[in-house]
Amino acid sequence: MLQEVILGKYRGFCAGVDYAVETVENLLQLRGEGARVYVRNKIVHNNYVVQNFVKRGVVFVDDIAEVPPESDLVLSAHGSPKGLKEEAEAMGVRVFDAVCPLVSKVHTEAIRDHRAGYSIIYICHTDHVEAKGTMSYVPMHVVESIEDVDALKIANDKISCLTQTTLSVDDVDRIIARIREKYPNLKTQKKDDICYATQNRQDSIKELSRLADLVLVVGAEISSNSKRLVETAKSTGRASYLIESCLDIKNEWLEGVSALGITLSASAPEFLLDEILDHLRKENGDFVITNARRLDEKISFKPIVLS
């Protein structure tokens, strides 16, 4: 019988997601609810956030050619290909780039290292929108696994390494260790590219996995940071499932579970957790909640100036 629900100490929206979501919110307020605001790609990788904006008149597009001149276009948190902002502006579109500053940091590092003569190794999932944007800035050797590292043939003595911000910290550490074995002169960044929120949430779910019988991650299948959390929990030997809402919870998962761990990925809104807790109470009766108040990460980004 379910007796305790342990929540991740670090959970829910990170500063980059807040930054992007607030950009769209502020633009809707400035233009008036129901105004036609365009967003390239999903503003963040969560279907509930996207659908909420759709109901309020936001139009999500894959191609900037779909955006009429003199319209407002917000670029997503994951970053956009090189030159896309300028291309849209040349079409007469007002562009507000809501890329997470920590993703922009990687773009800046890539340009700097390329200009300094480094061959760049980029650790990423090549099908992810963040990676596609980053790879457009300068030539890179792209790796997703240790096997990809083994296949590298780089003659340059100057080699640097960059990473997608939402990867598994443990996986990246293993890959970088192998790169350094092969290229001892490898230059890494002064500050890790894996973002603080990714690190905090992965550390938090490891703790959950030690304390709980089962771990649920609230997020979306299209979200890299959501899937990495599930993988991190499973790597500890703990059963874990990715759910988008309370509707995805299967009763058989909770059989024999006394302590249930729940966390939200960096792109999952807090109201989903409230709905899940209400659902669990209806199905299982009352229980103790541990870590009801999430820890403040004390990081925020200055809002975009709108006009």
Q: Which of 130, 144, 147, 275 is catalytic?
A: 130
CB 233 within 8 A of CB 240: yes
Residues 6+ apart with CB under 8 A from 87: 64
Q: Which residue type sits at 297?
A: E
- 181 catalytic per annotation: no
What is the set of active-site residues? 130
